[in-house]
Amino acid sequence: MAVIKADAYGHGAIECGRVALEHGASHLAVARIWEAIRLRRAGITAPILVLGGPNPSTVDLAIEQKLTLSIGSERAVDLALSAASRHGKPLTVHLKLDTGLHRYGFLPELATGAARRLADHHLINLEGIYAHFSSADEQDARPTRLQIDRAHAIIDALEQQGINFKYIHLPNSAATITGMCGRSNLFREGIASYGLAPSPDVRLPDGILPVMSVRANATRIFDLPKGEGVSYGLTYTAKQTERAATVPIGYADGLPRSLSNCGWFSIQDIQCPVLGRVCMDQTVVRAPIGAQEYGSVIIAGDGSQGEMTLDDIARLSGTINYEIATRFSQRMPRVYIRDGNAAGYDFPSSTDL
């Protein structure tokens, strides 16, 4: 199950969803119903699980669009049953368990009653059951072990009552890598699908590389005179005359402002430190002598040309790579590369402007 919520962690949900399905994913998952509807409008007919709970204003859309709902509260059971009856149409659902994350899902003692109500309704297809781990990306395996044990106890009890599931899915990326998957036959893969490690404690297998690189072309190459400051607040002063490049990317594009005076870009394979503050739309970096105006600047990628990785950016700005990936914004045009060639573009089209 390819998790492509938040526009595929900033990578483009429609393209990533299609690629995942071509390469063996049986299901897609998103967080919100609107994300799923966007995929349907793009012509994607595969099963889509909405991870977040349904609400009264969107449950009808879920039925119309043949989405799979996560049911994790009594109120959500009510919604699912009444909407299915009202439409007279089947509704596929996965029962969401709260085995310890305590975010969404049924506590163990409430799960059986809810499963019974869903299973007894002739229009509800209770296809799956799942839970989400709190700490699968950490070294201590005990919380994950406990969550697996709790999920198994519920699933066993339901099976004894004759309620069986086509899909059981406990693991996220981290648990898939560490193998803490319990009885699962479906795997919700998010961060690792984008070539990003779930955490410093859970590394990716060798050969899996980041999908995203972030690039721009320098808009100006100039010599910053000795003693002059640069960018808002003049927080960096040139100790001697130095070559600099203005790059059209800023915090409105998702580059953290906290990289001011501490991140770096790559120009001609050379690490070029950020000079002064990251602005909303532009950033100034030191440039090699041979830097060209309109020449390529790599802001982030797999690090093979000296650029920051998303892990570097996350570390320097006190967050996780998930947040860095998801915040690279819609304002930046996307180019999809397949087998080394540009295979698609996602530019703001004239009709969107």
Ligand X SMILES: *Cc1c(COP(=O)(O)O)cnc(C)c1O
Residues that bind ligand X (CB under 6 A): 3, 5, 51, 132, 172-174, 188-191, 198
- 341 CB-contact burial (10 Å; exposed 0-12 / middle 13-18 / buried 19+): exposed
Least CB distance to ligand X at residue 191 (A): 4
Nearer to ligand X, 53 or 295 (CB): 53
- 290 CB-contact burial (10 Å; exposed 0-12 / middle 13-18 / buried 19+): exposed
Catalytic residue among 5, 167, 194, 236: 5
d(CA 145, CA 272) in angstroms, rounded, equals 45
User: Is 66 annotated as catalytic?
Assistant: no
Strands (E), 209-316: 214-217, 220-224, 229-230, 236-237, 242-247, 264-267, 270-273, 283-286, 296-300
Q: DSSP readout, 110-155?
A: HHHHHHHHHHHSTTEEEEEEEE--SSTTSS--HHHHHHHHHHHHHH
Nearer to ligand X, 15 or 189 (CB): 189
Catalytic residue among 89, 166, 226, 232: 232
d(CA 198, CA 179) in angstroms, rounded, equals 14
Least CB distance to ligand X at residue 260 (A): 28
User: Is 89 annotated as catalytic?
Assistant: no
Least CB distance to ligand X at residue 51 (A): 4
Least CB distance to ligand X at residue 48 (A): 14
Nearer to ligand X, 182 or 198 (CB): 198
Nearer to ligand X, 79 or 196 (CB): 196
Q: Catalytic residue positions?
A: 5, 232
